[in-house]
Amino acid sequence: MFVKQKIYILSLIFSLFFIGIRSVAAQNGFELNYVSHRDVIYGEENNPKHVLDLFVPTATSSNSPRLLIFIHGGSWVQGSKSQLPEILIQELAGKQGFAVASINYRLVKDGKDRYPAQLEDVQLAIDFLVEQAEGYGYRGDELTLMGGSAGAHLAMLYTYGFDQKKRVKSVINLFGPTDLSDKDARPDGSEADQIITNFLGTPDHLAPIAVSASPIYYLHAESAVPTLTFHGQADSLVIVSQATKLHQRLDALGVPSQLVIYPGEDHGFSTMVMMDVFQKIVSWLQNH
């Protein structure tokens, strides 16, 4: 099994870090000023992956809060919407006034549901969330997509390549792969190459599907949106050049782009780094 536990470090670190915040919040009388809608069906009723969680503020400075959609990681084979920690939801929906959704999507298993199944589900979930915006009480025309690793890949791919109605206004990318055709990022026999081969169904890094599944090839002046990227300098699964090339491309297009690289960090960050990541995410959302 080529999916290592480090792929899920992001979720674990988030949880450990926010447990501390939860304790402080409780002492200060922190209130849950949002309504939770769990396991909302967005697609086929008999498909357990076509569900999402939605959290909508009950009191904001705006009658229609903006919506942040979280897409989980897990090498496109594991993970779930539960990777978004409760305390982060409390901060964003309860204090910052954002509506927050966390979605499940189909995972590759036994050679089935390979790409583009995951992208199709992201599209389906976003269409549902936009259609239901008025009923739930948030804006459906100003979205932010945030993802970790494989989830970040899907967030960028949808935004740059398939958001035809231009509803996504910014992306938060936590160490996501941007170019699946880059052989430097997937050397023969490497874990990264095995993961991508399983995802796409071919080992050929020059296959058309490897290019069409790569977010960076969809970047142009009309498709690019402000993007915040976090990456570890020592990331052994998604090499840091995947982030730097994305940032350079966005800069060349004149699109706001913030790249934060953490020296010594691998695929998943330490607790202290995650504290900085969290603060920068909140600041980014306030400004974009």
Residue 89 identity: I
pLDDT for 15: 47
| pTM for this prediction | 0.91
Domains and CATH numbers, the chain: 5-287 (3.40.50.1820)
pLDDT tens, N- to C-terminus, the chain (288 residues): 344 444 444 444 454 444 444 433 444 444 569 999 999 999 998 899 999 999 999 976 566 899 999 999 999 999 999 999 887 899 999 999 999 999 999 999 999 999 999 999 999 999 999 999 999 999 999 999 999 999 999 999 999 999 999 999 999 999 999 999 999 999 999 999 999 999 999 999 999 999 999 999 999 999 999 999 999 999 999 999 999 999 999 999 999 999 999 999 999 898 899 889 989 999 999 998
Residue 223 identity: S
pLDDT for 31: 55
pLDDT for 268: 87
Mark residue 10 as left, alpha or beta (left: phi above 0; alpha: psi -120 to 50; beta: remaining): alpha
pLDDT for 6: 47
CB 122 within 8 A of CB 71: yes
pLDDT for 263: 97
- SS3 state of residue 231: strand
CA dist 226 → 145, 162, 168, 257 (Å) = 11, 16, 10, 6
pLDDT for 72: 98
The four Cα atoms 234, 238, 244, 247 give a dihedral, to 10 degrees, of -140
Q: Cα(first)–Cα(last) distance of the chain, in Å?
A: 39
Burial class (CB in 10 A: 0-12, 13-18, 19+), 272: exposed
Beta bridge partner(s), residue 69: 101, 145
CA dist 205 → 97, 201, 244 (Å) = 42, 11, 20
